[in-house]
Chains A and B, each alone.
Chain A
Amino acid sequence: MTQWSGYLGLILQGALVTIELTLMGSVLALIMAFLAGIGRLSRFFVLRALATAYIEFFRGTSIFVQLFWVYFVLPLAGISLTPLQAGVLALGLNVGAYAAEVVRGAIQSIGREQYEACIALNLGRWQGMRHVILPQALLVMLPTFGNNAIELLKATSVVSLISLADLTFQAQVVRSQTGNTLMPFTTILVIYFVLALIISWGVRSLERRMARGLDGVRV
């Protein structure tokens, strides 16, 4: 029990890696979500097909399989990635595919009259998207993005299997060094839960801030 503080430090180091992975993965996921989500609504068949293939591929196989594929098979093609890079890549691409459907759904949920108003105001397709559609759609996306971010946080535990020293990995280290199982695993479960709570709280307050001034507009 006296050495527990030292092991706690180890677990907190893991928590930093988990947070880092979650943040970097979320950024990549966000970029992919908008690229693929808007791509699916494109006028051009090639873009639509590419976006659909990306989404179906990454939603069709699990993050674990993708991670192993990125980590073990890509080096054979000459692309060698560190565990952290492989983790961010797999997490970001995987969650990005799920979030892309959210982007598409949110954009499609904006009423026809908004598009008609864009045409009436002589806005170009891109202008209409940028100034009229996306600001409204963003608010619709936000709660689901929060859920996706929590899914991403949970998925980060899988990177421990490619020897990246995240929370789960450190818990395994503590387990093998002390033989104590209850303490490390309970500690990391609580840490994961607190991180998930922070994400959902952050998204909710972001949503409140963005909804400010839209009271009369939203139906």
Chain B
Amino acid sequence: MDWDWNFVREILPTLIQGVKITILATLLGSVLAAIVGLAIALARRSPNRAVSRSVGFLAEFIRGTPLLVQLYFIFYVLPDFGILLPPLVAGVIGLGLHYGTYTAEVYRAGIDNVPRGQWEAAKACNLSAGQTWTHIIIPQAIPPMIPALANYFIAMFKETPLLSAITVLELMNQAKSVANTYYRYIEPMTLVGAFFLVISLFSVVLLRWLEHRYGKIER
């Protein structure tokens, strides 16, 4: 079995269709994960024990079970309760929820890393809780989180092929359908692998830069 460049040229437009969906799912999933993560992190800091405990357990549960099964759950079980989601929406929700439990830990660490003195100084300056968060804590907590968050978004990008299992027509699914139509696996599968590899090699460079730029703040 050898590599056929003509076949590659033939299937490339189909694969690019898939790339668009892959990127769209990653972007939407990242936004959702950033929001869900913040919500979980804040809920876990809640003074109400019932809220913080149950959210903590839920996050633990989502982190301990496979993304693929969660996607199946969202896509196949929710319709029984009258919630019928298009595949892409179900996929984005799955990605966002799953990775939200990871980003929650990043937020938690970022907030915990703001020194106690800052909270005390805010209190001494008579700032309200809202002002303390928006003007003191968040501006200091966010920059060190950026590399870690980016790391999870890249991880999410690599997990998007799982969406093909719930019939989202992203890159992997396009590759599979091309492979099944022509019964040639070597080119589509290798191209998919190469695509992810190239993107993630670039993202390593991006991460290094982000770490250099935001990793440390002057105290």
Contact = CB atoms under 8 A, between A and B. Distances in A.
A73 interface: yes
A61 B197 contact: yes
A181 B193 contact: no
Task: State the 3 A-B residue pairs at the shortest beta-carbon distance, nearest first.
Answer: A196-B64, A157-B66, A76-B1
B186 interface: yes
Given A61-B158, A62-B159, A192 B65 contact: yes
A62 B154 CA distance: 11
A189 interface: yes
Contacts of B80: 181-182
B185 A76 contact: yes
Given A155-B66, A197-B64, A73 B190 contact: yes
Contact of B161 (A56, A59, A62, A172): A62
Interface of B: 1, 61, 64-70, 72-73, 76-77, 79-80, 158-162, 165, 172, 176, 179, 185-186, 189-190, 192-193, 196-197, 200-201, 204
A143 to B, nearest CB: 14
B206 to A, nearest CB: 13
B200 A60 contact: yes
Interface of A: 56-57, 59-62, 64-66, 68-69, 72-73, 76-77, 150, 153-158, 160-161, 167-168, 171-172, 175, 181-182, 185-186, 188-189, 192-193, 196-197
A7 to B, nearest CB: 16
Contacts of B65: 154, 189, 192-193, 196
Contacts of A172: 72
A47 B144 CA distance: 34
Contacts of A196: 64-65
Contact of B192 (A65, A77, A168): A65
Given A175-B76, A181-B77, A59 B200 contact: yes
